[in-house]
Amino acid sequence: MTRTNYIFIDFENVHETDWERIVGKPAKVTLVLGEQHKNFPVAVVKQMLKCPGQVELIETRRTGKDAADMVLALHIGEQYKADPHGYFHVVSGDKGFDATIEHLREHGILAARRASFSAIPALMNAAERLQWLTTYLKEHPSIRPDSRTALEERIQTVFGKGLSPEDVATTVRGLVATKLIQLSDGGGVSGTDPRVEWRDNSAALPPPPKPPRAPSVTTAGPAKPTAPAKAAIPVKIGAADERFEKLIARLENSLAPRPKSKSKLLAHINTVFGGKLTGLEQTRKLNQLIGRGVLTIDAEEKVVYAQA
């Protein structure tokens, strides 16, 4: 199943112009316009005309910091009822939307705030996805799937389960082309699932990318001075991060016994972390699992796993 990406642009904050990224992609864009937008830029209209049926406008008659938040929350809720399997993105540089995003995630809705189209996994090109994935795998050397099926599932997890099967296959081919992995026939669980052999070829891999920022995106208001570049600092992955990734891998294994209720899942999370988590910390880990699209909790507090 191809997941549809519903993208809401806070036009008061971000003027996205990289519209070619959504052409032919499973994406629908909603531009949220404020009271002051009496005239619409011709350049943006020309870009939108290249995406027939994928773009709509919403005008808000209210002004103020919370007006766009309420409008976006309302329309995301309505769209979620129509398509609960969708992925919802808010394109804005305003961190004020993060509270709304966190609330959506706590209710099992796939949602994120992005800086631009180029930061949305389903809209990244093959090279951008490959860079991000190789960075992830270099930072998490202990979490390397040993079969192609497991690798494809991990790729979907890294990109928020927002990729099409074709995008996943292209990414796997990219890993092979960069000689980070080699696929061997047979040997998997089913006997026909190709095995993944990992190679120590980090020197040939692309350097860790910076957070994607489309150069064509402009932000309302005066430009801020650019801070001097700092030397790269190696990223260290702590034991807690590795435990969390192992927890995800364990819960995504549909062949293994998994907690079926919220209370048992919280107890399992605490066990994975050595029995040292407080109740609040256990709940935060659960919300992170929901935000990553690993599982949801239904009205009866039963656990529903994405990997059934």
pLDDT, tens digit only, all 308 positions of the chain: 678 999 998 887 777 778 888 888 889 999 887 766 666 678 778 878 888 889 888 877 665 556 667 787 888 889 989 999 899 999 988 888 888 888 888 888 889 888 888 888 888 888 888 888 888 777 777 778 888 888 888 888 888 777 888 888 999 988 888 888 888 875 444 446 788 888 765 444 444 444 444 334 444 444 444 444 444 333 333 456 778 888 888 888 877 789 999 889 998 998 888 888 888 888 888 888 887 778 888 767 888 887 66
Is 221 a domain residue?
A: no
- The answer to whether residue 222 sits within a structural domain is no
Domain termination residue (choose one: 75, 104, 122): 122
- Residues 197 and 101 grouped into a single domain: no
Tokens 């529903």 belong to residue: 304
Same domain, 46 and 100: yes
Domain count, the chain: 3
Q: Is residue 85 part of a domain?
A: yes
> Where does a domain end: 106, 122, 138?
122
Same-domain pairing of 116 and 148: no
- Exposed, middle or buried: residue 68 (CB in 10 Å: 0-12, 13-18, 19+)? buried
Residue 231 placed within a domain: no
Domain endpoint, select from 68, 91, 122: 122
State if pTM tops 0.85: no
186 belongs to a structural domain: yes
Range(s) of the domain holding residue 289: 239-248+256-305
